[in-house]
Amino acid sequence: MSVAERPGPGEKPTAPLPKAGDLLHVGREASVQFTKPILFRVIRVLDRPTYDGWIWLEGYQLDSRGDAVDRRSIFVLRAGLRVAPALAAGKPRRLRAAAHVQRSVGPVLPTRPAS
């Protein structure tokens, strides 16, 4: 059992541990540093010693479209974490080819030096 999973003396876990892939709403209830709430996609729970009821999470901060904008490790109160509603699946974005990439129409043949 990891340090983060162990309840304190006489204490029962108040919330299940987040797992990889969970989408969380992290706000002031989780830590005073989050005055502006963030969306956070969990990579893993870090196994670091902490105060009772607190955990370290590693993951990605997401924007409103669900795109990762920053990879972070955050120290939060386990009971203050909220599961975020799943982001609406929008249209997949098309990736545009870089402007500097030259496309060829046929096979690339080796060139011979001029005689």
Grade residue 89 by pLDDT with cuts at 50, 70 and 90.
low
> Could you tell me the pTM of the whole model?
0.65
Quick one: average pLDDT of 66-89?
A: 91
Under DSSP, the state recorded for 101 is P
Grade residue 17 by pLDDT with cuts at 50, 70 and 90.
very high
Provide the CA 96 distance to its chain's centre, in angstroms. Answer: 25
What is the C-alpha separation between 42 and 75, in angstroms, rounded?
13
User: Does 60 score more than 90 pLDDT?
Assistant: yes
Q: What is the mean pLDDT of the chain?
A: 80
